[in-house]
Homo-oligomer: A and B are copies of this chain.
Amino acid sequence: MERPRHQGMAKNTYMRWRLPLVCLLWEVAMIVLFGVFVRFSPEADAHWEEEKREMNLTSDIENDFYFRYPSFQDVHVMIFVGFGFLMTFLKRYGFGAVGFNFLLAAFGIQWALLMQGWFHSFKSGKILIGVENLINADFCVGSVCIAFGAILGKTSPIQLLVMTLFQVTLFAVNEYILLNLLHVKDAGGSMTIHTFGAYFGLMVTRILYRPNLEQSKDKQGSVYHSDLFAMIGTLYLWMYWPSFNSAISEHGDAQHRAAINTYCSLAACVLTTMAFSSMLQKKGKLDMVHIQNATLAGGVAVGTSAEMMLTPYGSLIVGFICGIVSTVGYVYLTPFLESRLHIQDTCGIHNLHAMPGLIGGIVGAITAAAATEDIYGKEGFIKAFDFTGTYKTRTPSVQGGFQAAGIVVSLLMALAGGALVGAILKLPVWGDAAAENCFEDDIYWEVPEDEESDVYHMHNPDKPASP
């Protein structure tokens, strides 16, 4: 596994034929598969007038579009602007952060529409898609964006596309096991999105361990403006997280409740993040890394339970704890993981998604197990956990057990899947950069010869400041 110093110099990062080939072939495959399988759901199909009559709907406003489209757009912003800009904090990897995130997400949503469609929206040979499918595709891709955070700056765009292909596939399988086989509730995806995505990414980065990464250490930090760009990502994730956790909840009270719980958890999380960011630093100053990331842990951690009767104060408690756990993780755990376990986690997804995701799964299991008809009302109880049909007789404590099982399954799927995909990405054909060229846009992007490059060179006394 050890590579000799500077061997990387010889690495072939030339993308000219490899990247286009992958993009074009895969997109053609998408077209063929969409042509064979994908059609509009009845609510998006021109036959809707007939559907309306059949379903006894009196108004177009009953179309699911109006229940979910605003949330869909918020989620969409989270995936493309939220994750994309959150990762622009590196001083010279802004193009890669926002551009590769764009690429992998654009491919991922198509493949997710198919994979999730086969599992959940398959009717007489066709996948029927509507706005809920679009949201679920964004969710699925969210887990890839999370994993991207661990390997940010160290992989080629082709590697990212390969990872997306496999991760979306496994995501759909894992989601099917949880939602359909275990009958687990996880509307905001603490388990399916965050736990799965984060441990998947951590395993991939472990397998891709780069012993000489300190060679690009000077590029692993931020600059003043890049930290502000990253705050755009942070704030959009933070503000729209209530939409994320409520986007696919049942119409009515469940969506309403999920938004409120998430809002509360996130608010509490900001205060404990600020507190610990200051407390854990000798000079008592705040650290942008914590503010950019740990403030979001509260959203992750109510992903499973937000649509349940977690209650506002319950949400505050969850957010309170997660701000602390996440910030402490950045200060103590990330360096430990890197030095001892050889897990190089560029964005610290272990602190933002892995631990809060696990907490979210556990909180969900407890909240489910604690449910009573008294708290939910007779109908609300059945509706909240879908205790109908086969699951008519399931009790809250049994549900709690299955929820806990969902955590374990997600974790195992992520670790196994991440190991597999990491091994594939280790093949020397994908055009990743040498250790000394990591975290540098210049490898894959035309970077403008700008004034700042002069400034940049001022650090290298060997290079003349002007051409």
Mark A residues whose CB is within 8 Å of B.
14-17, 19-21, 23-24, 26-28, 30-31, 34-35, 38-40, 43-50, 52, 59-67, 69-71, 73-74, 76-77, 80-81, 84-85, 88, 91-92, 94-95, 98-99, 102-103, 106-107, 109-110, 113, 129-131, 134, 157, 221-225, 227-229, 231-232, 235-236, 238-240, 242-243, 251-257, 259-260, 263-264, 266-268, 270-272, 274-276, 278-279, 281-288, 291, 295, 309, 311-313, 316-317, 320, 375-377, 379-381, 383-384, 443-456, 458-459, 461, 465-466
Q: Across the two chains, which residue of chain B brings its CB closest to A253? A: B48
Q: Is the CB of A45 within 8 A of B274?
A: no
Complex alpha-carbon distance, A390 and B448, angstroms: 57
Q: Bound complex: CA of A17 vs CA of B288, how far in Å?
A: 18
A260 engages B130 (CB within 8 Å) = yes
Could you name 28 residue pairs across A and B whose Cβ atoms are closer than 8 Å?
Answer: A23-B272, A23-B274, A24-B272, A30-B316, A34-B316, A40-B256, A44-B253, A44-B256, A49-B379, A60-B251, A65-B255, A66-B66, A73-B239, A73-B242, A81-B232, A81-B236, A88-B228, A95-B228, A95-B288, A99-B291, A102-B295, A103-B274, A110-B264, A223-B450, A224-B447, A225-B225, A287-B446, A451-B452
Chain B residues, CB < 8 A from A231: 84, 98-99
Does A268 lie within 8 Å of B316, measured CB to CB?
no
The answer to whether A251 touches B61 (Cβ under 8 A) is yes
A46-B377, A288-B445 given as contacts; is B24 within 8 A of A271 (CB)? yes
Distance from A77 Cβ to chain B, minimum over Cβ atoms (Å): 6
A459-B448 contact given A16-B283, A81-B239, A228-B88, CB 8 Å threshold: no
Q: Chain B residue with minimal CB distance to A449?
A: B221
Interface residue SS majority, chain A: helix
**Given contact pairs A70-B69, A223-B450, A253-B45, A259 touches B311 in the complex (Cβ within 8 A):** no
Closest residue of B by beta carbon distance from A108: B267
Cβ of B65 and Cβ of A239 under 8 Å apart? no
Q: Besides A98-B231, A223-B452, A286-B446, 5 other CB < 8 A contacts?
A: A17-B284, A27-B272, A31-B320, A130-B256, A458-B466
Q: B223 near A284 (CB under 8 angstroms)? A: no
Query: How many Å from the CB of A135 to the closest CB on chain B?
Result: 11
Answer whether A20 and B278 are a contact pair too, CB < 8 Å, given A312-B129, A448-B224: yes
List B contacts of A313 (CB < 8 A).
31, 34-35, 38
User: In the bound complex, how far is the Cα of B129 from the Cα of A295, in angstroms?
Assistant: 23
Cβ A454 vs Cβ B455 within 8 A = yes
Give the Cβ gap from A225 to chain B, nearest Cβ, in Å: 6
Residues of chain B within 8 A (CB-CB) of A271 are 23-24, 26-27, 103, 106-107
Taking CB atoms, residues of chain B closer than 8 Å to A242 are 73
Chain B residue with minimal CB distance to A461? B466
